[in-house]
């Protein structure tokens, strides 16, 4: 859970609150860490995975498939974003 907060750049309390809601909806489950009794892991359930895949497909269809720019512009944008992420250490 601490790692999720760091990756998402949000306060640990926000992660706990989000996991609470997702767990109540059956999308994640909390599991004990196998080697650290102080840590708790959040694991996506099959229902959560199905919901995430459906949401990804809907987002891609509604937002990213019709960008309003040409294929050439899209290619240029990818190139610039890749360089930006590489310089930031994302790759």
Nearest to 29 by CA among 39, 38, 19, 37: 19
Task: State the CATH number of the domain containing residue 74.
Answer: 1.10.10.10
Of the two residues 6 and 20, the one the predictor is more confident about is: 20
Cα 31 to Cα 20, 24, 34, 47, 74, distances in angstroms: 13, 15, 9, 16, 41
Predicted confidence (pLDDT) per residue in 7-39, tens digit: 899 998 999 999 999 999 999 999 999 999 998
Residue-range definition of the domain harbouring residue 57: 2-87
Predicted confidence (pLDDT) per residue in 55-71, tens digit: 999 999 998 888 889 98
Helix, strand or coil for residue 89?
coil
In contact, 14 and 5? CB cutoff 8 Å: yes
How far is the C-alpha of 47 from the C-alpha of 6, rounded, in Å? 25
In this model, does residue 53 exceed pLDDT 80?
yes
- pTM assigned to the model: 0.67
Indicate the number of domains in the chain: 1
């Amino acid at each position: 859970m601490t790692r999720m907060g760091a990756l998402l750049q949000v306060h640990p309390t926000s992660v706990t609150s989000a996991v609470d809601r997702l767990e109540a909806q059956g999308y994640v489950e909390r599991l004990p860490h196998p080697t650290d009794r102080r840590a708790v892991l959040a694991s996506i359930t099959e229902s959560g995975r199905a919901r995430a895949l459906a949401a990804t497909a809907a987002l891609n269809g509604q937002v990213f498939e019709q960008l309003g720019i040409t294929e050439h512009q899209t290619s240029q944008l990818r190139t610039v974003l890749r360089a930006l992420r590489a310089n930031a250490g994302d790759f």
